[in-house]
Amino acid sequence: MNRDAYKKQYTTLGIAAAGVYATSGSKSSSQIPDNRLHAYLGDLVEGGQVMDKRPCLEHPDFFLMVFSGPMLKEDLPPGTCNKAFSREVLLCTAADFPNLGGYDYLSLDLYTELWRQLGARIGKRIGDFIHWEDGECQPIPLEADRWKVTQ
């Protein structure tokens, strides 16, 4: 058994000021105090989404969104949100973002749109590449090289 083999388990993967974060559906999430996003790209499932929030650091609402903005809940249907302390799933759009805050949850598509509006770089795993929305097609490092990448 190869213990260093990629475990394709993350459905979303991202990086922000505090390091890398990942989710495995709505079952679990991890915060990894590491600034090397590239080292974790191989752990992303096929079709999984990656988000680089580092370009948002200069946005005036960045820290507000990190500390008191809505959170991701991957098992919500697209285009929906779940307000704090409610079980009700509501239809939601980007126009509703100003009315959402901490303890509110967004579906993956809306969470992505929120961060896209703040300047995040968004990509998707297709095969052994990350296809970024800005047109870049980035190869996922080989397992043997994953910890050699520094950014």
pLDDT tens-place string over residues 44-59: 999 999 999 999 999 9
pLDDT of residue 18: 87
pLDDT tens-place string over residues 103-143: 999 999 999 999 999 999 999 999 999 999 999 999 999 88
pLDDT of residue 28: 80
pLDDT tens-place string over residues 4-23: 556 778 999 999 988 999 99
| Backbone torsions φ then ψ of 55, nearest 5 degrees | -65, -15
Q: How does residue 150 score in pLDDT terms, banded at 50, 70 and 90?
A: low
Task: Say which residues have a Cβ less than 8 Å from residue 23's Cβ, sequence separation at least 6.
Answer: 10, 11, 12, 29, 30, 72, 74
Q: At 142, is the secondary structure helix, strand, or coil? A: coil
Query: What is the Cα 135 distance to its own chain's centre?
Result: 18
pLDDT at 60 over 60: yes
pTM value? Answer: 0.88
